[in-house]
Each structure stands twice: as C-alpha cells, then as structure tokens.
Structure 1
Amino acid sequence: MSDIPSTARVVIIGGGAVGASCLYHLAKAGWTDCVLLEKNELTSGSTWHAAGNVPTFSASWSIMNMQRYSVDLYRGLAEAVDYPMNYHVTGSIRLAHSRERMQEFERVKGMGRYQGMDIEICSNDDLKARYPFLETHDLAGGLYDPHDGDIDPAQLTQALAKGARDLGGRIIRFCAVTGVRRDSAEWVIETEKGEIRCEYVVNAAGYRAQEVGAMFGRTVPMATMSHQYILFEEVEELRAWSEAEGRKLPLLRDVDSSYYLRQEKMGFNLGPYERNCRAHWVTPDDPMPEDFSFQLWQDDLERIEWYLEDALARVPLMAKAGLSRVINGPIPYTPDGNPLIGPMPGVPNAFEACVFTFGICQAGGAGKVLAEWVTEGGTEWDMWSCDPRRWGPWADHDHCVAKAKEVYGHEYAMHFPRHAWPAGRDKRLSPIHDELKALGAQFGAYGGWERANWFAKPDDDTSEEATQTWERKGPWEPRISEECAAVRDAVGVLDLPGFARFRLEGVGVGEWLRGQITGALPRPGRIGLVYIADERGRVVTEFSVIRDDDDELTLITAAAAQEHDRELLLSRMPPHAGFRLNDITETSTALIVAGPKSRGLIGALAQADLTQPWLTHQISYMAGRPVRLVRVSFTGELGWEIHAKPHDLPVIWEALMEEGTRHGLKPFGMYALDSLRIEKGYRAWKGDLSTDYTMFEAGLDRFVKLDKAQDFPGKAALMAEKQRGPAKRFVALTLEDSPFDAPYMSTLWSNGEVVGETTSGAWGYRVGASIALGAVRSDLAAPGTELEVEIFGTRVGARVAPGQALWDPQNARLRA
C-alpha cells in the first residue's frame, strides 16, 4: 500500500536544506497539511556535499536580512526541535587588499549595524590577534563578523525536517515526481507512488529545478557550476593553539584572491571560486544524469592550483598539512547569483525556492520568505533581489551559462555602481543600438535591454578598470555633466527601449482598475501615475496610465517589472472579465526628448499641437511615421516621450539628429537621467518604491484616495495608518561635500541614533549638490532638520530639503 496522501494543501518538491526549511516554516505558520517529496534521501543533492559556511555578510539589504535570520534561527534550532547539531559559531575574517575593499566593508558594517549586528572593521594588528597564523604584510585591513561559522548541512536538514514533522508536516522519501497537471483549481502531482492533489506547489529541487520547472512549462534560468573544496589533514600546531584557546580559528575569506579557508576539526578546508571555472550539464555531450544523488565529479586540481598556492602563502601553517580529500560537486547558479524565491512566473499557485548558490546559510531565511509568499501573499522584507520574475524569456540558455560562470568567477567581487558586467550581454537591443554605439554610448542592461548609460568621447577611458571605483569621479563625470547641461539649457534625447507596456481594453476595465489602484485614473486624453498596494498598504508597483477612453488604456512600467507586473495584473483580473490584457512591450519603443528647446525641435518634425498642456498625449506623425507624443518628462524639464513602432524608430532618430543640430540637441544616458530625476524627487522602482514602505511612508499621499467609492487592496491598512500617522516619512536630503554619493540603504543618523535610510543618491548637476532620497523617522522629516548620512563609514552632514523636488519645485519648466 502506498504511504502517499491523496491530498495536501502544499506539496514541496525537493528535500534539501531549503525544501526542509520551507516545510518547517509552513508548519510554524499553521499550515500543517503539507507534504515534501524527495526522489532519493534527504540532502542527496547539493546539500550533502555543501561546505556548510553560515555568513551574514552581504552587500544586498534583503539577502543580509535573510542570512541574519538564518543565523538567529540556527542558534536555537537544536533546542527548539530537540535534534543535536554541530554548529560552530567561530566568527569570520574577510581580508582587504585595497582601500576600495575596505570601503565596501565599511558599507556592509553600517548595514549590519542597522540590522542589529556588531560587525567590526579590523586593522592588520586586529587580524593577527584573531588569527595568529596569518600573513598580513600586504593587506589594507579586514572585517570581522562574530556571527559567522559553519554548520553540518545534513544535521541542519534533519533538524528542520524533524521540526516540520513534529508540527504535522509529512516527508516522503524515495518518491520521484514524474509529472504535474492542472485540474480545475488544483494541482495534481504525479509520482512513482501515486498522485497528490494540492492547492499550492513549490519547486525546491536545487540543481534539478530546471527539470522540475519544465513540468510546469517553465524554463528556470540557471546553470550548474562545479565547485571544489579541499580538505586537509590535521596539523599539530593548530591543535595545540585551538586547545589552548578553547576555540576554532575564525573562518577566513581572502575575497580579493577569491577563496575561503576554514578550520576543519584540527585541519583546514580550502574552497576557491576560480576564474577559469567550469559549468556542467550545459551541452548535449554532457547531459544531466537521471540520478546524481550523493555523487561527485572527479577532482580537477589544476583549475585551483593558483588559489592553493596563494592560500599557502597567506597561512604558511597549511604547508604542514597533507591533502586529505577533494570535494567536487554541483552548485546551481542563476544569472545574478541570487536564488529564486517567490511566485513561479506564468503558473498559478506555484512557487519557486530553488537555485541556491549559498543554500545552507540562506535556507532558514528562504523558508521564512517562501512561507510568507504562500500563506500571506507577500513578504516581510522586499525580496525583489530573489524574485523569479526578475528574469524573462530573454534569459536563455547561453545567457544563463555565461552569467553563471561570470558570477562564480567573481563570487567575492565588489559591485561598483558604474561598472557594467560584460558577460551575457546584447540580449535585447534597441532598433538604433548601432547608431548609439557609433556616438560613443557605454551600455548597461536593464531588464535585458541595452541602454546607453553615458556617451564617451574618443579619448575617454572606458576600460573596466576605470569603472571600478565607489567615487563619483570617473571618466563618465564630465560627460554626465555635459548631458545634464544640454537637457537644462537646450535639448537632449534619450533612447529608452524596454518600457513594459500593457494594453487594457474592454467593457468594465476602467472600473476594475479603479478597484486595484490606491488613487484615481486620469481622464481620457491624459496621462497620470497610479500605484498598486498590497493589503498592508505597501507599495507594490507604479504605472503610468495613458487613457484613450473610458475602457481603453495603456499601462507603462519599468523594463525590469515586465514579468512582475504582468503577473500582478493577470492574477487580479476576474475569471470571466469583459476586457482583455495584451503585453505590447515588444511592439513599441520610446525616445525621451527634453529641454527648453524641445518644443522647437519636435515642432519642426511633427504634425502636432504642441500647445497641449503637461500630462496630455496625442497621436501624430514625426518624419512621416506614426507616433504617440506624451507630454511628460522624467527629467523635470519641458519634454515629450515619443512612442513609436520599433521599425520606424531609425527614421525618426535620423530626422531628430539632423534637425537637432539647429537646436543644440545632445544624446544623454541613464546616468544623466538618474541625476535629473533625483533632483525632482522622482522615485525609482525597487529602490525608492518597494514593499518595504507604505504609500504614506513613500511620500505618495497625493496618490491615495481613501474617500473614493471603490475598495482597493490596502485601503483599510492605509486608513488606520492615516489616523495614527506613518512611522517614517520620505524626504530629499542635500549632503555636505563628499567624493561619494549615498548608496542604497545608507544609514541616517541623528544625535548618535539610527533614524532612517537612503533609498537612492546622486549628484545633482543642475543644483550643484549631492542629493539623497530616503525615509526618516517622522518627527525628523521637517524641512531644515540636520541629519547625518553614513557613507562608507564616514558620517556626512545632511539637511532635509524644503520639499521632495530641489529643482523647479513649482514645475514651471515642466509646464512651460
């Protein structure tokens, strides 16, 4: 008789540390009717051979949150579920070979402090005191994380599994999933032991996630990398020191050389992330085996020889240790190295919790996040960094492999704000990409679309090395200044491919949309911003709405939001709606033309009424080609968006460039646009606008209509917040002189107390000041309030601006 249940509320596919954590956290949330299916034994995938390091360090706010939660969970897990575990909290040291690396450490220290962790910056003497076998002569310093350590991955998984079982969850081992099908509103999970009907399903299949995803018609963006680590025999001097000190050495990471080194019993464990790395199972002659449970690849020591030699020079004591064993196992990677946690794109009631590069340190937090997605429809922390919808079909096999190898080979790399990673590029190109390139465009990828970041002159240094700095200054700075000046004084043009566009048409669509957004729809013939909140009143997304008629409109959103926002809209549409939604992203493109001379330039080429006011739109012709002229400008200057068919854009561009010579036209890029929009206090999605903030905290009060007839998601929460007052308020800040602009999540201070954070920052070339946008405790949001912004360990004076717009606060230039 089969031991498989016929029904469950949730079925989790995959029995590694992440799958077990998902089951445990669902059970903790009261969802006890859940089943985990594992094709072999628990831990048989990547979990069994994982090194088991448990860091909190991350330059990502959300990833740090997730890893910090894991550390807190693991500390008390053995007692909580009555299952013994080997968990060694040794602390860890990260070494810095440069000033830039120390600046990264200072930034992470500030983020960690905000999350309640006491991360320390170390001098070389501090490093030597904590790790006496370390050579420090060529170092700039380091960072010490007291919360770091290592855990036994198998014991962790079994502890989570026991905790889940004790709460009512079920685990069925040696039960491979062979297929899935949709039956009415339920999933039917087909296995070797029978079928299970369920409401929700979770793909937690690790490096086999793509295989499972294919059952749902989903291509999971991933590749599988070979990761080797070396175990060394015991060293008598290490034993003597460890016994005398009563502790293990801190886990050591030489991030600039790219390896970790851990005390393993009385020996060592060395794990490099080598540049000459290898991906497996990515070509027809290297297929994934039917079963790779508890298996490894053969050693490939030549690949990591340099890293071994470097580690021996860094910790000479290792030379006394004989090599014991080499572990060479599969580790899955997404194109950006972050896992997939959240709704499965295009698939109802299906979720992903898979492709974890650091599955052991993230498993605890991942289970929490996944359980929140399933049981509450949203997460405590904004988790866009891990959302599966951040990738679209453009992230094909070649892209995934190229990016996985790049990320693996630069696992510990610093992510400088102006550095564009080169692998896997040119997936989505503008029709005028080559024309922009000929003008010196330096490109960045936005939702896969190549956009010009800035325009270099022939003698500018555009090498990768020139972009590897945290400072504002670089080869781009004089060019950004020139581009902003052209928009301010004459006219600039920005090619902006990739706006995500959704056409909504049909009976009742206007009324339906009013019930989704927090505010009002623009009138026909107008354009306006609208926002969708979640039930907590937090910002989910922003749309520009171009209204043609009562039941005909176009929603425009960020390129990166295409999959996210399409899913959001489709999930909220009634099942038998009298209207339809079409994704028209690929059938239209746009130029931004902005500046005081933009009316003259467009007027010379377009058959249009350019006296129509701000926030209107019209159908016209430019250079004989049909366009939609939208009187709106993210730059804060008089301007229009020119929406056209992709095949018409080269003709329009050529005409603009030719006529533009008489108007002072200059192409500008995304870096200039970022400066211009911050001067106006305009928000960026998933930076300034995220589910970390309510509509009121984000300063979007004017887009909330609590007195409108329609209910909308979050209305009750926002009414309650309105009555008690928001805890935070969105502000614009001007900063004292600093070579750095404020990065995302820089801490705000007042009288020695942390009182908020920045959400974006840039130099404002029109106002001549460094500007930051952010959220601060409500009682400190008054104009003129003096604060400090912590930037790379230094507190820089800041003042709350009179309003959210530092440039043209009355919008006189926009309305000109």
Structure 2
Amino acid sequence: MRTQVKALVVGGGAVGASIAYHLARAGWTDVALLERDELTSGSTWHAAGLLPLFNMSYATSHIHDYSVKFYKTLEEETGLNAGFSVVGNLRMAQSRARMDEFELYAATAETVGIPHEWLTPAQIRERWPLLRTEDLRGALFHPTDGYINPADVTQAMAKGARQRGVEILRKRQVDSYEWTGGEWIVRGAIMAERGGNLVPSGEEFEIRAEHVVTATGNHAQRTAKLLGIKIPAIPVEHQYIVTEPDPALVDWRRQNGEHPVLRDADARWYVREERGGWILGPYEDGAPARFPFDVPDSFRADLFPLDLERIEEEYLSMIHRIPSSETAGLKDDYNGPICYTPDGNPLVGPAPGLRNMWLAEGFSFGITAAGGTGHYLAQMMVDGEAEIDMASLDPRRYGDWVTTEYAMRKNEECYSHVYVLHHPDEERAACRPLRTAPCHDRMKARGAQFGCVNGWERPNYFGPPDAPEGFDRDARSFRRGGWWQYARTEAQALREGAGLIDASAFAKHWVSGPGAAAFLDWFTCNRLPRVGRINLTYALTEAGTVRTEYTIVRRREDGFYLVSAGAWADYDRDFLRKAAEDMRGTFGEVLVHDVTTQWGVFAIAGPKSREVLNRLVVDADPGTVLSNARFPWLSARDIELKMCPTLAIRVAYTGELGWELHHPVEMQNYLFDRLMEAGEPDRLTLVGARAQNWLRQEKSYRAFGTELGRDATPLEADLPRFVDLSKEFRGKRAMEETGIRSKCVTLLVDGPEDADPWGREALYAGETRVGRLTSGGYSVAFGKSIGLGYVRPEHAAPGTRLMVRMQTRLWPAEVVEDSPYDPKNARIRVDG
C-alpha cells in the first residue's frame, strides 16, 4: 500500500473510478483510490444504467456526450465488456409544450454535436408497434444513446486505471483529513466483515497526498463534516420495478433486436428492456430525502422498502403506453438512495476554502456523468482548467447560508421535477422566499414576480399588483410567455423615461491593505482606476480565460470596492481570498471582506433618471451634483439622498444615463419610498431582470456565466478595451498564446413572431454550423429578436448573414456592430 501519492480519490463508484482513470491517463500515474466497502457498493450497484443525453446545460451535455463516447472504447482497452447496449433513446411528448421543450433541448444538443432525429406519432408506431401513440404529439430520438451495466463499466474503468498505475484499495474508510500546508494527511480504518456488517478491524492507515478528490456519493454529509464545509448533496429515494417477460416484447425482439429506451416525460417515467421484461423507473411526487446527516454503518448495498402506492399512477401510465406490459407480472423491485443537489447539477471542482481538495459529489445521473466528469475534472487538476466552462457545476455556487433542511427540501423538489417541463424561465417554489432584501415586500405589493439568485429573491418582472397565486407559473413558456408583455413595457419605459431596478443581490467585496493595489493590478487585466473612479475588469484563470468580472471602485489608494455577479458571491470570495494568500509574499498583506449583505443596491436609469435624483440630493448646490462636471461617467461619489448616505456609481447596465445607488441595507426601505415619491412626476417604473437582460444585449454588454466564462478569453469576448497589455497580470501569457479561436458578436434575428432565442441555439453559415448563441431575447429598440454568441472569427464581421436554429427551423440573423443601440454612448454621457 502506497503511503505517499500525487492524488488520492476517495470513493469507488463509477465517478471515483473514472476520476482515477482519467488522472492517470492525463499523466498523474501516482494515484490511489480508497473505497470503504467494495467497488460499486453505493448507488452504482442499483442504478438502472441509463445514459440520457437530454440536458439543458451546455457543460453537462458535453459531460454526458463524452461519457457515451468513452464507454464504447473501454472494452478495446481493458478487455472487459462494459455492457453498453446502444439501443437508442425515444423521448415521447404528449403536448405541444413538451415538443417545445424538446426543440429547445435539441438546440443545445446541436451545439455540442449530439445526433438526434424527430419522429411523428405515425413514425413511432411504425417502428415500435408495441407503443400506443394516438395521444402523442411526437418524439425526439437519440440513436447513439442506450443503457449500460453500471457495475461492468465501473470495473472496466477500474481495470483501466490499474493498468495505468493506479492503486485501488478496498475496505478503507477515511476518518480524517488534515492539511499541513503542502499536502493532505488522510487517515482512517481498515474495515472488516463481521456478521454481515462492515466494521473497523482495529488496523489503521495513513496516506499523504498532494491532492484529494472526494467522490463519496451517499456519504457526502459525512465527508462534509470531516472537511468542515457544507456539501448540499443529500440522497433521495428512487424506486424502479422489473417485470416478468412480456411475450409481445420477446416476440418483437426476436425479429427486430433490442427495444430502445423509452421516456414518456409527461407521464414522468423511463422504461427499458430487461431480459424480455421491462424496467419502469418513475420520478413521482413525495419521494423523501434520506441520510441528511450520515449513512448508518449498517447500511451497505441495501435498499429501502418499496412504496408501490406512491408510483401507482406511473405504473398505470406505463400500461397505457405499452398495453402488452399489463400481462407481465412484477419480478423485482428496487428502492435505493440516489444523491441530488438543489439544482440537479453535481458539485464538481475545488472545495470552498480548502487547498487541493476537489469535490465530485451529488450525482443524480452518476453513470451518465461519470466518464465526462473524470475527463474534465482531470483537466482542471492537471492543466489548471477544463476546455469547457465548468462554473455551472462548481461547488462554490452554494454558500454557507445553505442548511440541511434547505438541501433536503430542494433535493426532493429537484427529484420530483426531473420530468416536469423545464421552462427556461422556470422558477421553483421550494424554500422560498429565504434571502430577501428589505424592499421585497414593497416590490411584491407592486406586482413583482421573483426569481432566485444564490438564494436571493430578485424581481424578474412586474405583473399586475393584484396578480393571483400562481400567476408567474402560468406565465411561463418556451416561447413568449405571459410575462413577455410586462418585460417589454418595462424596457420601453426605461428607454423613454426612468426605471428602478433592485440589484441588491450583487456580490460585493472590500479589498484593502498595503498590498491591495499591487495585488489587484496583477489579479485583473485592466488598469486600476484612480481614487473616485471605476473600471470594468476581469480576473483570469491560469489558462487566460475569464474567471470573474468585476466593477472596481477605488475608494482610496489602498481601498477598493469590488462588485460582481450576484449568483457567484461565494465563488468570487473563495477565489479572491486564495489568490491574495498565494501572493502575500509578493505584494504584502491584502484583506478581503465579503460585504454583500451590508449594502443594498438600486440601479436607476433612463433619460429622466437625473431629474428624479435631483429631487432627493442634499447639497449646497444640488442641481450640479449629478452634472458631468461634478459627476462624470465611470466615477463614484458619496452623496446624500435625503437622509440616506449613498455611494453612487455612474454606470448603468442598461446603456442609459444612470447610477447604481449603494446604500446601507438597513435604510433600503426609506430610500425606496423616497425614490418612488420623487419619481412620480416622471412615472418612474419598476424594472425586472428580464427587461434588463434585453437592454444590456442592445448595448452588447457581455454577462458573466453566458458570454464570459472559463472557456473564452477576454480577447475572444472581443473586449480588448478592458485589457491593458502594457502590464503583467495573471493569465496574460496564456491569453495571448490562445489567440482567437472564436469571437463574441451581437446579432439581430428575424425570428418567429411568437418566440425569441434563449441563448442556447446553434448558428449556421449555409449548411455549416459556425457557432452558438449564449444570450437571447427581444430588442425594444429594433422591434425584433436579439442575441449574443460566439462564431468562428471569419464569420464575425458586421453585416455577415447567418442563420439561427429555433423551433427546428433556421431563421435569418445578421451580425451587427457592437452596441447597436447608441453606439457612441451619447445617451449615457448626456449632461444636465
């Protein structure tokens, strides 16, 4: 047994085996894997082994696609058959809305290169006559999909890892992790079988590792306690049943081969063939979370009692869809734990606050994701960054505000929503409201329909003040939903008059100390602002891609106020603090304080915004405080708005004259009331995030998480004006060496009358796919759809005519100059 390794993987399921394999394949041959029981003894052993390529996430689609392709190569390398049955996956739809969902998904699949085809009910019936199709609208078929034997594919990856030098040790339970400043000391017990239970044998082990990866599945809460962090991965019960052979299926297979995997999304189940019978796996309401604190020592490869009443509706719907299955009796049943997270995406990446500790936890589709997770996590660990943006899976997307009850309730909700329509404007209700700005109730009374960002309630749009319960849910659509008219009114009102936006969810950090200026100058790619001024800038990864976008306000020579995306507060804080610690010997002491909850933020913008604020400014000469002479664009000042001290920043994400008003959060309601009173003469309009998103696209303002991410450099984002090449900064050399692989552009789209792009669609030049949209919406200025996206450099010139795939059709789109609305920024700089 090795006692010193480069990397130690803890957990011997499919995910852990894949990570060990891919680390070794990437060149880290000094790797060990520990499993507390036997390989596959967690959720892997009772998984149904499906490999669903369907996913709305660009990153997750890449992960699943890699897995499917990778599993097909394992037998040639290892000699072990992974049990992959490439039978295809038929995803059926009973409604037009479901077909709309499939069409939006197919847009993402197309950008990744996942093959798929569309089928009518008649075509379904002709190819698979066992199915009842008269109540279907159509289906989406993945010919490269299918199912795999979870134990076999795990053992194949484990053998491949061993062949590459990985040591795999079973019956090793980790009991402690200790960071020495340069390596981890991992200690634990060697386990033994006694009376059918797994217990410590009395022998112990100790391994030192430069890097540790935890892939502990259902034991994630135990892992979290040992590491002193929070991991919102808690299992939920998942049942499936296996029938006796169905004679009709047996006869069909004799002539046609194995039946494809079936998914009736509206009936909330999957079905696949199993030894002449059927496996039914439902995703019903009421499945409870289990093991919120730890898995009992007595629970090994065990199951829970089946609750047939809970899945009766889904069972009957299977009989309806496959009438011959009614005669097949039940053969086996399974009810086991499968880990979930609040948003359904796994937690893959660095552990918050810890060095060289990596998480791979919370996999609800672990078999599908295992291969790709190993591949891309190995890239992050070995190369410093993955080739795709993994931010949407980053464990630091959840902060310390997440509690056990929150994780349980959200994970139960996530399970029950596996087959609920996934509208792109979806907002799920569980555990809300939780984090609220003081003005929440005031805005709700004025019709605010809220979204949730990092737990914060944020207005998406403002409907009628007397909107009934469920109004927002009923307004959702894959096209222009019921909310669209309200967002358009808000966008027009801001362009023509003045609008007020609650931006309190922004992440805010105070960075100070004798080394602060030198550190931030190295940490970000733009030059630092002078005292009283602001700059937009980017912190880069070691690969030269965009790690975070910041607005930096220089309050004093050694004091900086950093504002970044609200969804990424913990992600940013962890990155800032670790970077400052790493460079302390170079730049001196740097203090980083998260002040997000201390400051509320209102953004006021529009041609009449100065007039509104002038009614509140307290100054010896109030009429000049907001003038260009005293308060120029891209500057910051302390002002008084009646009795509220305010840090006003002259910048507007909407592209109009405007200010961000950062104020003590305890004074927010006072300030809100004064602003609404002062705005009455100019009909100050409350504006939500959806209208703001449209407006920023008219100005070609890139957004972190869409246009800006860890898969593109700021030069590829076409933002050279925010990059100071005369100085040295983190990631500069890698950025320059990367060159321009693709380029971010703005497009106006002549699309369908009832829909706009969502930012997931493929772009074509003729018959060649040349890029993809990353944002989409409607432009009130141009009266048509708009989007931002990345295309090959040769297709980025303004005037280039492209096509965008929406609702299975190609629609004309034209690349336009950046900032097609007010390209000279005259409206932003207007004096008064």
Match of 2:764 among 746, 749, 760: 749
Tell me, in whole angstroms, the C-alpha distance in 1 between the residues paired with 2:472 and 2:649: 37
Equivalence map 1:483-494=2 (5 Å): 483-494=490-501
Equivalence map 1:593-632=2 (5 Å): 593-607=604-618, 609-611=625-627, 612-632=631-651
Match of 1:29 among 26, 29, 35: 26
AA partner of residue 715 (structure 1) = K
Cα displacement string for residues 517-540 of structure 1 (whole angstroms, at most 9, x for unaligned residues): 222112211111011222332221
Match of 1:207 among 218, 225, 229: 218
Q: Give the structure 2 partner of residue 363 of structure 1.
A: 370
Deviation, structure 1 residue 767: 2.9
Equivalence map 1:228-627=2 (5 Å): 228-245=239-256, 247-282=257-292, 288-458=295-465, 463-474=471-482, 476-573=483-580, 574-576=583-585, 577-607=588-618, 609-611=625-627, 612-627=631-646
2:609–2:658 CA contact under 8 A, matched in 1: yes
Deviation, structure 1 residue 698: 0.8
2:446–2:465 CA contact under 8 A, matched in 1: no
Tell me, in whole angstroms, the C-alpha distance in 1 between the residues paired with 2:736 and 2:64: 34
Equivalence map 1:58-69=2 (5 Å): 58-69=55-66
Cα displacement string for residues 487-521 of structure 1 (whole angstroms, at most 9, x for unaligned residues): 12221111111211111111121122111222211
CA RMSD of aligned residues (A): 1.6
AA partner of residue 731 (structure 2) = G
Tell me, in whole angstroms, the C-alpha distance in 1 between the residues paired with 2:807 and 2:220: 38
Match of 2:691 among 666, 672, 679: 672
What TM-score does the superposition give when structure 2 sets the normalisation length?
A: 0.94
Cα displacement string for residues 749-806 of structure 1 (whole angstroms, at most 9, x for unaligned residues): 11111111111011112332211111112112121111111112111111111x2112
Cα displacement string for residues 297-325 of structure 1 (whole angstroms, at most 9, x for unaligned residues): 11111100110001001001111211001
Q: Give the structure 2 partner of residue 811 of structure 1.
A: 825
AA partner of residue 82 (structure 2) = M
Match of 1:42 among 35, 39, 43: 39
Tell me, in whole angstroms, the C-alpha distance in 2 between the residues paired with 1:652 and 1:60: 39
Equivalence map 1:163-174=2 (5 Å): 163-174=160-171
AA partner of residue 693 (structure 2) = D
Please say if 1:136 is aligned against 2:94. no
Deviation, structure 1 residue 601: 1.5
Match of 2:666 among 629, 647, 657: 647
Q: Give the structure 1 partner of residue 801 of structure 2.
A: 786
AA partner of residue 669 (structure 1) = G
Cα displacement string for residues 271-302 of structure 1 (whole angstroms, at most 9, x for unaligned residues): 0000222222348xxx7312421100111111
1:109–1:120 CA contact under 8 A, matched in 2: no
Tell me, in whole angstroms, the C-alpha distance in 1 between the residues paired with 2:180 and 2:298: 29
Q: Give the structure 2 partner of residue 729 of structure 1.
A: 743
Cα displacement string for residues 182-229 of structure 1 (whole angstroms, at most 9, x for unaligned residues): 223211111112211111111100011121121111111122111000
1:281–1:288 CA contact under 8 A, matched in 2: yes
Q: Give the structure 2 partner of residue 663 of structure 1.
A: 682
2:239–2:282 CA contact under 8 A, matched in 1: yes
Tell me, in whole angstroms, the C-alpha distance in 1 between the residues paired with 2:211 and 2:557: 37
1:95–1:141 CA contact under 8 A, matched in 2: yes
AA partner of residue 767 (structure 1) = F
1:518–1:704 CA contact under 8 A, matched in 2: yes
Specify every segment of 5 or more residues in structure 2 that has no aligned partner in the other structure, as ranges: 190-203, 620-624
1:484–1:766 CA contact under 8 A, matched in 2: no
1:743–1:791 CA contact under 8 A, matched in 2: no
2:9–2:215 CA contact under 8 A, matched in 1: yes
Tell me, in whole angstroms, the C-alpha distance in 2 between the residues paired with 1:194 and 1:415: 47
AA partner of residue 208 (structure 2) = R
Deviation, structure 1 residue 460: 5.3
AA partner of residue 607 (structure 1) = V
Q: Give the structure 2 partner of residue 227 of structure 1.
A: 238
Specify every segment of 5 or more residues in structure 1 that has no aligned partner in the other structure, as ranges: none
Tell me, in whole angstroms, the C-alpha distance in 2 between the residues paired with 1:58 and 1:295: 30
AA partner of residue 735 (structure 1) = V
Deviation, structure 1 residue 113: 3.3
2:445–2:465 CA contact under 8 A, matched in 1: no
Cα displacement string for residues 439-472 of structure 1 (whole angstroms, at most 9, x for unaligned residues): 1111000111101111111465753552331112
Counterpart secondary structure, 1:176: strand
Tell me, in whole angstroms, the C-alpha distance in 2 between the residues paired with 1:341 and 1:477: 35
AA partner of residue 120 (structure 1) = E
Please say if 1:715 is aligned against 2:735. no
Aligned length in residues: 802
1:90–1:147 CA contact under 8 A, matched in 2: yes
Counterpart secondary structure, 2:285: coil
Counterpart secondary structure, 1:419: coil
AA partner of residue 219 (structure 1) = K
Tell me, in whole angstroms, the C-alpha distance in 2 between the residues paired with 1:221 and 1:280: 13
Structure-2 change in CA distance of 1:262 and 1:563 (3 Å): same
Moved more, 273-282 or 324-333: 273-282
Counterpart secondary structure, 2:206: strand
Deviation, structure 1 residue 38: 0.9
AA partner of residue 648 (structure 1) = M
Deviation, structure 1 residue 588: 1.0
Tell me, in whole angstroms, the C-alpha distance in 2 between the residues paired with 1:586 and 1:23: 40
Match of 1:775 among 782, 790, 794: 790
Structure-2 change in CA distance of 1:415 and 1:237 (3 Å): closer
Structure-2 change in CA distance of 1:351 and 1:310 (3 Å): same
Tell me, in whole angstroms, the C-alpha distance in 1 between the residues paired with 2:111 and 2:180: 47
Tell me, in whole angstroms, the C-alpha distance in 1 between the residues paired with 2:562 and 2:667: 22
Q: Give the structure 2 partner of residue 20 of structure 1.
A: 17
Counterpart secondary structure, 2:156: helix
AA partner of residue 780 (structure 2) = Y
Q: Give the structure 2 partner of residue 686 of structure 1.
A: 705
Please say if 1:195 is aligned against 2:206. yes
Please say if 1:111 is aligned against 2:108. yes
Please say if 1:98 is aligned against 2:95. yes
Tell me, in whole angstroms, the C-alpha distance in 2 between the residues paired with 1:481 and 1:782: 29
1:419–1:464 CA contact under 8 A, matched in 2: no
Counterpart secondary structure, 1:482: helix
Tell me, in whole angstroms, the C-alpha distance in 2 between the residues paired with 1:321 and 1:394: 49
Deviation, structure 1 residue 79: 1.4
